[in-house]
Amino acid sequence: MGLRMRESIARTAFVFLLAGVFAVSTAGADVYSYTDRNGVVHFTNIFPGRGSSYRVYLHTPDQRRPRPGVRAVPAHDRSADRYSRYDDHIKEASLLYQIPEYFIRAIILVESDYDPNVVSCAGAQGLMQLMPGTARRMGVENPFDPRQNILGGTRYLRFLANLFDGDIVLTIAGYHAGEGAVLENDGVPPYTMTVEYIRKVLNNYYRYRDGEK
């Protein structure tokens, strides 16, 4: 499946995914408000859709910030075979959610360097560094199980790709900073770490796609 920057992580027929995720707040704990013509203020915690009159009233803080009490576990697996160890799971996730394998691999490389036991200082876990809330939304019971983590992370990429009309840059930004931050900023959030993350993922995606090691 092809992938062109900013345009072609295509939508899929997996309607159940969007329906299931939109049933909860797609931006975590974000709250939206709208004042109608009679001056009545309406609130919702469900993303109302692009182009809606609703605006963010209360925004979820950046989930990637360091969190007190979290014991970070850095990547320590240096075995050469780790880069091919999860091939079957990556292929399965790619076929199920129609996300290119190279893209999934690029995310895993940047997030955890293919070590399934990594925990970030913010509490993100496993190969694709799922935040606990995101893991629950994606149906992941054990984020340290490689298959569950890869399927959950790829499901989230599929959701983001659908939400942002296949825009690869916004999909990556949403994966790093959360979809709420992208929606609120109507584009890539002005976070240095997110901008650098996008650069790294794209560089690795094109490197994988072009057959480089």
Q: Where are the alpha helices (DSSP H) in the chain?
A: 15-22, 82-85, 87-97, 101-112, 132-137, 146-163, 168-177, 179-185, 192-209
What contacts 121, CB < 8 A, 6 or more positions away? 66, 67, 70, 72
Q: How far apart are CA 181 and CA 61, in angstroms?
A: 9
**Of these residues, 92, 111, 141, 212, which one is catalytic?**
111
Confirm if 73 and 122 have CB atoms less than 8 A apart.
Answer: no
Q: Are the C-beta atoms of 109 and 204 separated by less than 8 Å?
A: yes
Q: How far apart are CA 128 and CA 131, in angstroms?
A: 9
CA angle at 207 for the pair 206 and 212, rounded to the nearest 5°: 145
Contacts of 159 (CB under 8 A, 6+ apart): 17, 18, 21, 26, 179
Q: Exposed/middle/buried for 31, CB within 10 Å: 0-12, 13-18, 19+?
A: middle
Residue 196 annotated among the catalytic residues of the structure:
no
Q: Where are the alpha helices (DSSP H) in 23-100?
A: 82-85, 87-97
What residues are labeled active site? 111
